């Protein structure tokens, strides 16, 4: 077989394939765009206004950042959203740190938010104001819930850092003012992640343990350092405590939320220690003053009692008691005689009343009245029986005359005397006068016995019974 020198189909198609452009699938193109955006732009800060804020059941937030002319779809996943110190809402101007990426399913680019803070007002300040308003509306700041501090607490609970300056200042003041007081420290972090939970746990523990008063606080610092005392969990633990609590956050200018909820606010931990215990020397002086006042009061009461006793001892009731008794005996005898006399008269009057009542009872005796009523009843029964027997005869005599009277008034009796009733045959109308018929009309006459049909031959309106009526 001879070899063929013509070019093969593969050799012919190879240059054509090399000249064709590269073709992408939708997925390939989307992923390439996503890679370019993530590599070229990466992490950026974006300023805009929140709109279409939606929080899904999964906890992820989906919203749109917009300005005057454009908008950008944004998503913040639950882990990042839970770290925010304020609550995002529609219309809020924010600064968002995030990565530009592409959502491959829709082929739309979006911003995956990592951090967010309000534009203009700091996130911590905004969170502080919102939580303060919420707790105030719930009544956690109401003065009616404030508890009084004990005068001399035996056990003082302290919630603070065991290594901070606050505990040293408190212990120094307590040692100087009242050395024998019992102090119970609950060590807790006062700043950083998890500090608020430890502070709240310390408040709850000391409240259940049974201290007389509590100091919760720390030394001064920035707003971020003091933020644990602005957390809601701390505020609610303070409100739930049955033990009086002093909030001693060392920041004299600004107030922490714990200052509003606690029963008393102290500007510093040292001031809290001075408030919670009085100075021992001052208390001793006050006790001496009370003792002196008590002694003076007792001496005054005894002196007044002696004067009253001396006056009572010289009174007539003690010096002339026999004379007073003699007069009283005479008065008693007179009263006895008057009582006996009045008693005899009263007995006579009472006996007369009883006799009169007996006579009246005999006259108005129920037995007599019953006998009279029985007699009257018997008489009425006899009369009724007589009337019942005579009634049929009376009614018979009365009604025997009615048939004759009815017969005399009956129209049939009138017909028997020669009169007749005339009816018009066309409509059976009873004829009263001649104008109701005309010559040639058929009429029917009712007689005493039978009826007669006739035809009208003459009509005279001048005749009839009316011509014989008396004028």
Mean pLDDT of 58-67: 91
> What percent of the chain clears pLDDT 90, i.e. is strictly above it?
24
Which residues have C-beta within 8 Å of that of residue 374, sequence separation ≥ 6? none
Measure the CA–CA gap between 305 and 311, rounded to whole angstroms. Answer: 10
Integer Cα distance of 134 and 129 in angstroms:
9
* 123 SS3 class: helix
CA-to-CA separations, 74 to 29, 39, 117, 233, in angstroms, rounded:
22, 18, 15, 31
Closest alpha carbon to 426 in 444, 408, 449: 444
Query: Confidence band (pLDDT; 50, 70, 90) for 253?
Result: low
User: Do the strands 71-76 and 108-118 form a parallel or antiparallel pair, or are they unpaired?
Assistant: parallel
| Cα–Cα dist 205/145, whole Å | 20
Say how many Å lie between the first and final Cα of the chain, rounded.
169
Q: What is the mean pLDDT of residues 406-415?
A: 72
Round to whole Å and give the CA distance between 200 and 198: 5
Whole-number average pLDDT of the chain:
83
Which of the two residues, 104 and 269, has the higher pLDDT score? 269
Nearest to 412 by CA among 423, 421, 400: 421
Which of the residue ranges 182-191, 220-229, 278-287 would you say has the lowest mean pLDDT?
Answer: 278-287
* Higher-pLDDT residue of 245, 336: 245
């Amino acid at each position: 077989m001879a070899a063929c020198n013509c070019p093969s189909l593969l050799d012919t198609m190879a240059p054509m394939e090399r000249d064709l452009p590269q073709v992408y699938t939708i997925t390939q193109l989307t992923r390439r765009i996503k890679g370019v955006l993530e590599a070229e732009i990466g992490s950026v800060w974006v300023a805009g206004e929140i709109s279409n804020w939606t929080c899904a059941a999964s906890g992820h937030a989906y919203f749109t950042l917009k300005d005057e002319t454009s908008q950008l779809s944004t998503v913040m996943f639950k882990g990042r959203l839970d770290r925010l110190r304020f609550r995002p809402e529609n219309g809020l101007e924010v600064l968002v740190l995030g990565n530009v990426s592409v959502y491959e399913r829709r082929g739309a680019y979006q911003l995956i938010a990592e951090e967010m803070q309000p534009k203009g007002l700091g996130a911590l300040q905004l969170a502080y104001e919102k939580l303060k308003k919420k707790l105030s509306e719930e009544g956690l700041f109401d003065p009616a819930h404030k508890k009084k501090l004990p005068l001399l607490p035996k056990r003082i609970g302290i919630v603070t850092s065991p290594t901070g300056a606050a505990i040293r200042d408190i212990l120094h003041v307590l040692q100087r003012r009242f050395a024998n007081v019992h102090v119970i420290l609950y060590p807790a972090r006062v700043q950083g992640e998890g500090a608020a939970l430890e502070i709240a746990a310390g408040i709850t523990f000391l409240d259940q343990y049974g201290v007389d008063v509590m100091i919760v606080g720390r030394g001064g610092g920035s707003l971020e350092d003091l933020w644990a005392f602005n957390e809601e969990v701390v505020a609610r633990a303070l409100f739930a405590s049955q033990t009086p609590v002093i909030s001693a956050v060392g920041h004299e200018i600004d107030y922490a939320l714990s200052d509003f909820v606690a029963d008393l606010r102290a500007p510093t931990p040292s001031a809290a220690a001075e408030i919670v215990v009085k100075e021992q020397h001052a208390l001793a002086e006050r006790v001496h003053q009370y003792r002196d006042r008590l002694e003076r009061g007792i001496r005054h009461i005894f002196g007044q009692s002696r004067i009253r006793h001396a006056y009572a001892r010289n009174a007539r009731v003690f010096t002339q008691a026999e004379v007073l008794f003699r007069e009283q005996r005479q008065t008693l005898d007179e009263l006895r005689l008057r009582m006996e006399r009045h008693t005899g008269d009263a007995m006579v009057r009472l006996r007369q009343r009883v006799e009169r009542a007996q006579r009246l009872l005999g006259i108005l005796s129920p037995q007599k009245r019953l006998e009279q009523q029985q007699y009257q009843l018997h008489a009425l029964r006899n009369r009724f029986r007589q009337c019942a027997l005579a009634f049929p005869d009376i009614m018979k005599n009365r009604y025997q005359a009615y048939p004759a009277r009815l017969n005399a008034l009956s129209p049939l009796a009138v017909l028997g005397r020669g009169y007749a009733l005339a009816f018009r045959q066309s409509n059976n109308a009873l004829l009263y006068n001649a104008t109701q018929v005309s010559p040639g009309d058929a009429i029917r006459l009712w007689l005493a016995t039978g009826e007669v049909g006739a035809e009208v031959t003459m009509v005279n309106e001048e005749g009839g019974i009316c011509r014989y009526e008396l004028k």
